Structure 1
Amino acid sequence: MKIRKLLPYLLLLLGSVIMLFPFVWMVSTSLKAPIDIFSLDIIPSNPTLDNYLKILEESLFLRWFINSLIVAVITTISVLFFDTLVGYIIAKFRFIGRTFIFFLVLSTLMVPTEMLIIPWFMMSSELGWTDTYWAILFPGLMTGFGVFLMRQFMEQIPDDLLNAARIDGMNEFAIFFKIAVPQVWPAISALGIFTFLSNWNAFLWPLIAIESPELRTLPVGLSFFSSGEAESQWHLIMTGATISVVPIILVFILLQRHIIKGITLTGMK
């Protein structure tokens, strides 16, 4: 019986070690001197912070970090507002073409991102957005997945609750912000994490849309430390990757409590 009770914890421990090992190795490499980066020591024998000082002083890393932060924050705020609002309208308003619009939104999820690169680039070029923040931002300001997710959660809100607010004289925006949004905080938190993570790690489109080194995002900037297998500066790549993980961890810590709270209270609502 003791072995049977311990087995799930042992499996979880094994899975945790497998998941955390690349992260530990990344942090360890960032603390090693260039001559020691291929050593198998998990704990560096001579840890140093020179890599952090070098990447901050001798590159545009800080500017790339700010660029990624601007892009990720703006797109996340835009997606949370517009996708939640559209999901609410599709779920709770009855109008002609509602189902068709919803399926039209879903159809965008079936198109691979790689097929959208050329239309995005042509649009950016014609409107003069190339090599600007707007060129990176506009494809991610709304997402079909976010609309689908929020519509599914909005469907679960009782219509009687919204009608009671209308009878009390609330306008639709007040009903949306004060009644509907608090009911779907777990979904909004999950969508916020997914959106921030995807835009923070975006590589292909920012690489195509941006030419100026000062406007590169963090993934694009870090890729230039790897100019070839013999010349790759692995200590700087690992150092930059270690710093880039910090905002993602902070976003998850801030939003995960809403997800856990929603799961805990689901049966009580």
Structure 2
Amino acid sequence: MDDQNPQTQLLKDVWQSRKALFAKHQTELGKFRVDALISAIFSNGPFYHYVFDLSDLNLLYCSAEVEQIHGLKLESLTLQDILDQVHPEDMDFVSRAEATAIRLFQDKIGLHKITNYKVSYCFRFRVKGGDYRLFNHQAVVLTTDQQGRIGKALNVHTDISHLTDNNNRRLSLIGMNGEPSYLDLEVDGEVADPIPQPPRFTPREITVIQRIAKGMTSAEIGRELLLSEYTIKNHRKRILKKAGCQNMTQLIARCITEGLI
């Protein structure tokens, strides 16, 4: 285990250099926005979520699972405490991924669309006990101010070490509400003009994938979706073919690490 602390100032410098894009004051959060988004987040493994404000980097809320996963005390938790769990060797990648995402929203996608995207990439986190495991990071901007500047953000961290220990060190911007996705992007140096990609899977296929990730059988999925087991099995075959995967474990790992959904 590496006892060196991560250089979290690298990430803070990214946010500081883009401060003009962030709201000057706290923005109002819709009453059911977080709960609705959490139910739509794709995860397969232990996870926790938190909300923080980009105007002052204050942590506004964190789910209780952070105690079981990181061994951190919820009552005294700060955003800095969470950042300090990032593997020191991964902090530079995290900073570059954040900088790349912001630049693409500024120059390619448009900041006015930022609430319609999930930002996804992976890095190693220290867990309770001191070991490091691979986590998937998903972030969604929750609010903007009247000038379109970024306010509150929701982050979801999922332990995916049971699926893979290989970090592709890529960034994905996953479109929601009909927006195209920008997947598997490099973050080293200047990023070439990314090409938007249509959804890899249909809404029905995504529904099936989410239930497969929960360990449900084809028969169980069929009963829940009011479809035959035969239909679900055909969905599974098409999903594997589209993703270029040999089995469902490989599929779920690829969906998470490459931001396919």
* Fold-level similarity (TM above 0.5): no
TM-score by length of 2: 0.22
Higher RCO, Cα 8 Å, sep 6+: 1
Higher strand share: 2
Larger Rg: 1
Higher helix share: 1
